[in-house]
Amino acid sequence: MSTALKGVKVWRFEEIREALMSVYSEPVTLAKSVRRKDVMRYLVRLDKMYGILEKRVFSVLNRLPSPNRLNPFYAEILAISGITDYAALYSRMTGLRKALRKIWKQYRLRVKLSLTAREARNDLREFVGRSLSIMRRLEEDLRKLEKALGEIKKLPCIDFNALKVVVAGMPQVGKSTLVGRISSSEPEVSPFPFTTKNIISGHIQLDHIRIQIFDTPGILDRPVSELNEIEKRALVAIKFLADVIIYMIDSRSSSYYPIEQQLDLLQSIKAMFSDKELLVVVNKIDETTEERLRKVLAMVREAHGEELLKMSALNGTGVDALLDLLKSKTRTTPIPR
The tally of CA atoms less than 13 A away on the side-chain side of residue 5 is: 22
| Per-residue burial over 307-336, b = 16 or more CB atoms within 10 Å of its CB, e = otherwise | ebbbbbbeeeebbeebeebbeebbeebeee
Residue 188: what pLDDT? Answer: 57
Buried b vs exposed e over 74-110: b needs ≥16 C-beta within 10 Å?
A: bbbbbebbebeebeebbeebeebbeebeebbeebbeb
Task: Give residue 8's region: left, alpha or beta (phi > 0; psi -120 to 50).
Answer: beta
CA dist 177 and 284 (Å) reads 11
Report H helices in 242-318: 259-272, 290-304
CA atoms 316, 318, 324, 328: torsion sign: negative
Sorted by where each starts, the structural domains of the chain and their CATH numbers stand as 13-153 (1.20.120.1190), 163-332 (3.40.50.300)
Q: How far is CA 141 from CA 13, 74, 91, 92, in A?
A: 11, 17, 11, 9
DSSP H or E run through 19: helix 13-25
Q: What is the DSSP letter of 224?
A: G
Q: What is the per-residue pLDDT for 30?
A: 81
**What does the pLDDT read at residue 190?**
47
Give pLDDT, residue 192.
46
Per-residue pLDDT of the chain (337 residues; tens, 9 = 90+): 666 776 778 888 999 999 999 998 888 888 878 788 888 899 999 999 999 999 989 988 888 889 999 899 999 998 988 889 999 999 999 999 999 999 999 999 999 999 999 999 999 999 999 999 999 999 998 888 888 888 888 888 888 888 899 999 999 999 999 999 998 776 555 444 455 678 888 888 887 888 899 999 999 888 888 999 889 999 999 999 999 999 999 999 999 999 999 999 999 999 999 999 999 999 999 999 999 999 999 999 998 887 789 999 999 999 999 998 888 876 655 555 4
What is the model's pLDDT at position 333? 57
pTM exceeding the 0.75 threshold for the entire prediction: yes
What DSSP designation does 261 have? H
Gap between the Cα atoms of 49 and 51, Å rounded: 5
